[in-house]
Structure 1
Amino acid sequence: GLVFAGVGLGIAASGVLVPLLLRLGLSQTWAALGLLAAATTIATWRGWPADAPAPPEAKAESASRPWPVTATVLIVVYGVIAAGLVPHMVFLVDFIARGLDAGIAAGAGWWVAFGASATVGPAIFGALADRIGFRAALGTALALQIVAVGVLLVSTGPLALAFTSIVVGAYVPGSAPLVLGRLREIFHDPVCQQTAWSRATVVFSLGQAAGAWLLSAMFAHTGDHRLLFGFGTAMFAVAFVLDRLTAFAATRQPLRES
């Protein structure tokens, strides 16, 4: 889980840096962030681990194995999760700053809290998975997200903002180790694990891109932030139902076999 904690550090840092950079202007802010990203990439480029290609025999053996339906559903769930995260990742600060008329400083402050939670989120959800298993941990986390996103539909007070920022913030990077761990429970072969994770990553990216496009168009048409959070709540509800149906089918399979 600690591998994904860097996402939280970046979120928290942006909550501090962006308000300061905005004093220079919007174009200058984007340019500075681009230069910072490029400099960080160059500085860490040699630290990335080299690919370890699998032997051809292992690839051929894994390709001949049937692909489980549970893995396909899990990958779809990961894509739905990606869409459900978009309202907070893209619109939370704007909702606080403009929707609640609290100003950019308040929005940035809650974004820092969001990022601080994201820093420890992977470790928390990883520890939960170690205790109850990845299948149960994923279902628990999804149920928690339904409440954490949906709370903004009924309350926007400080407690609601703290709850939604901390819980969803922890899950943004915490979702990855949960899904990765669940895929490792489904596939015991390293080649199949790598293939499944690659597909899941692509579907997650598509879910985020599609969700961002759809919600941007929705907000441009309605100007209603709560509609966006309603969408996020619905996406997590769909992901939860799909995940639980798959878990139920998996528990019934041994009974049918016996």
Structure 2
Amino acid sequence: MPESSIATAASGAASPAASPAASPAAGNVALAILAGFSASLLAIGLARFAYTPLIPPLIQAHWFTAAQAVTLGAANFAGYLAGALLGRPLARAAGNRAALRAMMLLATAAFFACAYPLSVSWFFLWRFASGLAGGAIMVLAASAVLPHIPATRRGFAGGMIFVGLGVGIAASGTLIPRLLQQGLQQTWLGLGVLALLLTAVSWFGWPADPPPAAAAASPHTTAHTTPPHAAPAPRKALALLYAQYAANALGLVPVMMLLVDYVARGLGRGAATGAACWVLYGAAAIAGPLACGYIADRIGFAKAYRIALALQVIGTALLVLSSNAIAIGLATVILGALTPGVVTLVLGRVNALLPHDPAAQRAAWSRATTAFALCQAAGGYGYAWLFARSHGHYTLIFACGTVALVLAWVADVVGGSAAGEGRLAA
């Protein structure tokens, strides 16, 4: 995340870091955003969401049994948690740029490896590896790019980075069926080629390690522009944000797991309608991060996140209370947009709570991502167990997600976590 001089420049103070010589060129900023977009598209959008429409073909081609296919899907969640925990240590050891390049290569290698089902253990290993790459990239990508973006445009830039998640969701509903016409192995290889292209696009876009503003950390340039000691971190507000983000994961997992199956089998509307619903979910997910970033730049990340939580409650409640096609479609759009959209908002809130402490920003975002990953993995296994024990009670699972989101929204209102977030949240 930004060095102290970047934070000072973002707040309008005059310093050498704000000069053209120290600030990255507009072209470099655009390349950095493109790199972040490519990373989220590859390591999260495709590596996670492309697996969902591949489960039936994996079973039909007798690569794996149904139980094995579900277990292999969960391997990505476990790897994501590991990546969230290991991302910062890896960056400290090798640097952000090298770590991000390595994770992009790892996610790419996983696609090629999955084209050869040598054994369940082999496939599990590479699904885990793809999740690990996704978790590490989620922790590191934005923190490598956003320091170079003016504070008033970070919502938009964060949205552009995380719109890759939405593109991946949409691609999983449109690209995968076309690739499957060539065969299952060719589908994995095709995804690998796409991943390799995205890795090449991002390769030279990652900002330098350390960022250009690092020079401003010397006594000659910061003696009169930054305070000698950062203000104490708002620990209570951050702890509340971590808890909210974890609850957000518990609220979204049922939709990510069961929405298509609910429409296709639960409501009896067929696989084609279920697939169309997933495409609608993906289309909304493309617009979600940009819309959330645009709104947050105008009303603040705190208010925007509170509104997002309320909308998610409405979306999941619609799935519980109604089987009407319009209600299901509205819920799909809301939840599709906010699945990646809340990532932009939570990252913005973290930065707003710690506006002049880059190291603390990186640590806080890593903790937030870990909290989300932990509850995502636990929720995935827990909801699967509950679904089996309840004999396929879809509305019960959606109701559990609604309760989690209601708790997150109430905690935000009661806790007043918007207080003290400073100018970036204003």
Smaller-chain TM-score bracket: 0.7 to 0.9
Structure 1 pair 66–133 and aligned structure 2 pair: CA distance change class (3 A)? closer
In the alignment, does 2:192 pair up with 1:52?
no
1:226–1:36: structure 2 CA closer, same or farther, 3 Å change rule? farther
Displacement of 1:50 in angstroms is 5.5
Structure 1 unaligned regions, length at least 5: 254-258
Which of 281, 287, 294 in structure 2 is aligned with 1:120? 287
Q: Distance in 1 between matches of 2:329 and 2:395?
A: 17
Among candidates 169, 175, 192, match of residue 38 of structure 1: 192
The Cα offsets for residues 88-134 of structure 1, whole Å up to 9 and x where unpaired, read as 11110000011011111100001101100110111111122122211
Q: Is the 8 A contact 2:179 2:190 kept in 1?
A: no
Asked whether 1:157 is paired with 2:324, we answer yes
Partners of 2:294 and 2:274 in 1: CA distance: 30
Does structure 2 conserve the Cα–Cα contact (< 8 Å) formed by 1:19 and 1:108?
A: no
Q: Does 2:348 match 1:191? A: no
Could you tell me which residue of structure 2 aligns to residue 221 of structure 1?
389
Unaligned runs of 5+ in 2: 1-158, 219-227, 422-426
Deviation readout 1:183-242 (Å, 9 max, x if unpaired): 111001222111111111111111211111111111111110111110110111011112
Equivalent residues in 2 for 1:107-256, closer than 5 Å:
107-188=274-355, 189-222=357-390, 223-247=392-416, 250=419
Looking at structure 2, the residues matched to 12 and 241 of structure 1 have their Cα atoms a distance apart, in angstroms, of 32
TM-score normalised by the chain length of structure 2: 0.53
CA shift, 1:18, in A, is 4.6
Deviation at 1:43, TM superposition (A): 2.4
In 2: Cα distance, 1:209 partner to 1:221 partner: 19
Aligned residues: 245
Corresponding residue to 2:253 among 68, 83, 86 = 86
Q: 1:173 to 1:248 in 2, by over 3 A?
A: closer
Does the aligned pair in 1 maintain the 2:180–2:186 contact within 8 Å? no
Any conservation in 2 of the 1:5–1:121 contact (CA below 8 Å)? yes
Q: Which has the higher contact order (CA 8 A, sep 6+)?
A: 1
How far apart, CA to CA, are the structure 2 residues paired with 1:196 and 1:242?
Answer: 19
Q: CA RMSD in A?
A: 2.7
Cα 1:66–1:187, aligned 2, differ >3 Å: closer, same or farther? Answer: closer
Identity of aligned residues (%): 39
On the 8 A contact 1:121/1:174 being kept in 2, the answer is yes
Amino acid at match of 2:194: T
What is the deviation of 1:53?
5.0
Higher alpha-carbon deviation: 85-94 or 45-54:
45-54
The alpha-carbon deviation at position 250 of structure 1 amounts to 2.9
Q: Which has the higher helix share?
A: 1
Contact 1:62/1:191 (<8 A) preserved? no
* Farther off after superposition, 111-120 or 44-53: 44-53
Structure 1 CA distance, aligned partners of 2:301 and 2:234? 20
Partners of 2:171 and 2:418 in 1: CA distance: 43
Q: Determine the C-alpha separation between the residues in 1 that align with 2:232 and 2:370.
A: 22
Q: Provide the C-alpha distance between the structure 2 equivalents of 1:23 and 1:103, rounded to a whole number of angstroms.
A: 21
- C-alpha distance in 2 between matches for 1:33 and 1:196: 38
Amino acid in structure 1 at the alignment position of 2:344 = P
The answer (yes or no) to whether the contact 1:16–1:108 under 8 Å persists in 2 is: no
What TM-score, normalized by structure 1, do the two folds share?
0.85
SS of the residue 1:156 aligns to: coil
| Structure 1 range deviating more: 127-136 or 44-53 | 44-53
Alpha carbons of structure 1 residues 191 and 53: separation in structure 2 relative to 1, 3 Å: farther
1:232 maps to amino acid: G
1:13 paired to 2:171? yes
